[in-house]
Amino acid sequence: MSAARDALNRSIVYYRQMKEVVAYNEDLHVWVYYDQTDDILRFEAYVIDYDDGGEPSTLAFVIDEGLLSWESPLGHYLTKKSLRSEGARQSLWAIPRHTKATLIRPELNLYLQLSGPEVKTLHRLCATEEARLKTRNRSRWLRRLQALGYDVIASAF
């Protein structure tokens, strides 16, 4: 969408006249994760961006973020399997830097403590939580997207 050489040409669509289209079901994602450093369940709702070829590339922006209750199925699972850390670390000195050397240690990386079936269960619980959050927050997130100038459709397919 480039600017016109002749500003009087009526067939030109300027950038600000055209709205970006977002498909709620495909372009909005919710990342659900366990923050071991703070011992809390977090989520981030974000919109993905596309490259010039129309392929998903990176995130465009985060539209919402928040905390999840330990009463959720994901929270119950982590608690039942004793996968939670001892609690939030109050000192920055107590938080290990996330380098390759620390992330290969099972006590600092939850995924290294899990078996294959447990990883699948954890991913299934996160996907269920993503669907629940997208349904629960639909009207609020739609209003935010529209306020940002997006034309929101339910699905691209």
| pLDDT tens column, 115-134 | 999 999 999 999 999 999 99
The single-letter DSSP state of residue 153 is E
Residue 20: name the closest of 45, 49, 46, 44 by CA.
Answer: 49
Residues 6+ apart with CB under 8 A from 118: 81
Sorted by where each begins, the domain ranges of the chain are 21-153
What is the residue whose two structure tokens read 């899990």?
A: 114
User: 157 pLDDT band (50/70/90 cuts)?
Assistant: low
Q: How far apart are CA 89 and CA 85, in angstroms?
A: 10
Examine the pLDDT at 20 and tell me if it is beyond 60. yes
Q: How far apart are CA 30 and CA 142, in angstroms?
A: 14
Mapped onto helix, strand or coil, the DSSP state of residue 60 is strand
The single-letter DSSP state of residue 16 is G
The terminus-to-terminus CA distance of the chain in angstroms comes to 25
Q: What is the pTM of this model?
A: 0.75
Q: Which two tokens stand for residue 58?
A: 């990176």
pLDDT tens digits, one per residue of 29-58: 999 998 887 889 999 999 988 888 888 888
- One-letter amino acid identity for 65? E
In this structure, are residues 74 and 68 in contact, taking their beta carbons and an 8 Å threshold? Answer: yes
